[in-house]
Chains A and B, each alone.
Chain A
């Protein structure tokens, strides 16, 4: 059982819909991330939150809107998506700073299909 929980596991939405992805971490970490994984491409970092503050936004279109109400919860609000946005969306958390580098813990992801 992962310490990072994502819901829903699967989502099919139309291009005019609004939906939200939810992520919750139970590890006491202070940093959370959204990644996008498309077929044949490396994981793409979308957003980074340290201590609830957004520290990075990697040129993500405004149809993706993150929200981090506290250090344990992270949302990704979606609206007017395009079919090319269909992908696996992964949430991750980590502890920063850290003496020994343990990398990320990932959630199981939301597989999104835009129709």
Chain B
């Protein structure tokens, strides 16, 4: 059983569209949650942390549902530059982070 599961996609959406990704995690003791963005042949970069109350950063909104053990990322008004792979990341106790396989997004002109 995977620790973190994501739909790999690909998601192909037109510019200006709203797109949402979900991620589920298996360990209810998970403590911290993140979305990372990884461009082709580059390293992952932190997009945003995910807080229990939900949080927003510009066009990006992250939600956490601890009861159902899932995390979501909503991107509004998609830009071409949003094309990337989005990684769901979960931390249990200690320093162990678990990564999903990533969801591929392509924004089409």
Contact = CB atoms under 8 A, between A and B. Distances in A.
Interface residues of B, number: 25
Given A2-B43, A107-B43, A108-B43, A45 B97 contact: yes
Contacts, number: 57
B66 interface: no
Interface string B27-54: 0000110101000011111100100000
Interface of B: 2, 4, 8, 31-32, 34, 36, 41-46, 49, 87, 89, 91, 95-102
Residue among B4, B44, B99 with most chain A CB within 10 A:
B44
9 contacts: A40-B8, A42-B99, A48-B96, A50-B95, A90-B44, A94-B95, A100-B49, A102-B46, A109-B42
Interface of A: 2, 31, 33, 40-43, 45, 48, 50, 55-56, 90, 94, 96, 100-109, 111
- Chain B interface main SS type: strand
B100 A42 contact: yes
Contact of A108 (B2, B34, B42): B42
B65 to A, nearest CB: 18
Nearest to A43: B99
B43 A101 contact: no
Contacts of B87: 43
